[in-house]
Amino acid sequence: MKTVLIDDEPLARKELKHLLTVHPGIEIVGEAANVTEALHLLPTLRPDLVFLDIEMPGRNGFDLLAALPAPHPQVIFVTAYDAFAVRAFQVNALDYLLKPVEPERLAEALARIKRKKERATEDDSSENTSLDSPETCFTEEDRVFIREGDRCWFVPVKEITLLEAEGNHTRVHIRGDSPLLRRSLGSMEKRLPVTLFMRANRAQLVNRTCIERVDPWFSGSLKATLRGGLQIEFSRRQAQEFRNRQEL
């Protein structure tokens, strides 16, 4: 995969190059220190992937994407600031890495590219990683973008603990937060992997890997304690389904 690094800090580019050496599918074909250099470089090299800094002297990374003729390469933002996450995913960024880049997060981002290529459609740029979008179905290894008002989260699907119906909306429990999405629980259930999630009752969808303890409850139901201390009740019917899944 032909790759270009765009960052005004030479040391940052050097460190990223070093991290990418353990990924044999990545071929670094060019570097740029600012938007002007990148605009001359990218149309000629036509890379598949760009690692793009946001804050650079003169014009920033978003200015580059706005000035770059289509089709755009896949973009992974690499920045020292988390304040641009919402805008990054509005321009269909593949991922958003914070400096200093952790090798594990870099590997996750590159794995997403591989999965995207494996299930590519005619328009690769159409992938939408927002949990609030109705088009995308997710796997256990995907990361999803969640937004509520001015707050946003970018988390692995497997770290979603619980989803709860609140009328026609859904409360999503993640990392101690619980944003509310304007989607029904039923629509969310269709998009999340059945290998992780199952109904506990009519109003709750639980990640089975987040269950730390299960106790017998009334009339054949079960009471489950989740990671972080949340407690939910499996209905009698779903309690039997849970037992069946655990036996497999």
How confident is the prediction for the chain on average, in pLDDT?
87
User: What architecture is domain 2-123?
Assistant: 3-Layer(aba) Sandwich (3.40)
Antiparallel, parallel or unpaired: β 222-226 and 151-156: unpaired
So where are the chain's domains?
A: 2-123, 143-247
Class of domain 143-247: mainly beta
Q: Is the predicted pLDDT of residue 25 greater than 70, yes or no?
A: yes
Q: What is the pLDDT of residues 140-167, one digit of tens each?
A: 888 888 888 777 888 889 999 999 999 9
Q: What's the pLDDT band for 209 if we cut at 50, 70, 90?
A: very high
Entry pTM: 0.56
Please give the C-alpha separations between residue 9 and each of 12, 105, 149, in angstroms, as whole numbers: 5, 20, 33
Lowest mean pLDDT among 29-43, 74-88, 123-137, 194-208: 123-137
Predicted pLDDT of residue 134 = 54
Q: Is the predicted pLDDT of residue 120 greater than 60, yes or no?
A: no
How many CB atoms are located within 10 Å of the residue 219 CB? 7
Please give the average per-residue pLDDT across 85-107, as a whole number. Answer: 85
Q: What is the pLDDT of residues 210-238, one digit of tens each?
A: 999 999 999 889 999 999 899 999 999 99
Predicted pLDDT of residue 126 = 38
Q: Is the predicted pLDDT of residue 34 greater than 80, yes or no?
A: yes
Say how far apart CA 240 and CA 68 lie, in whole Å.
56
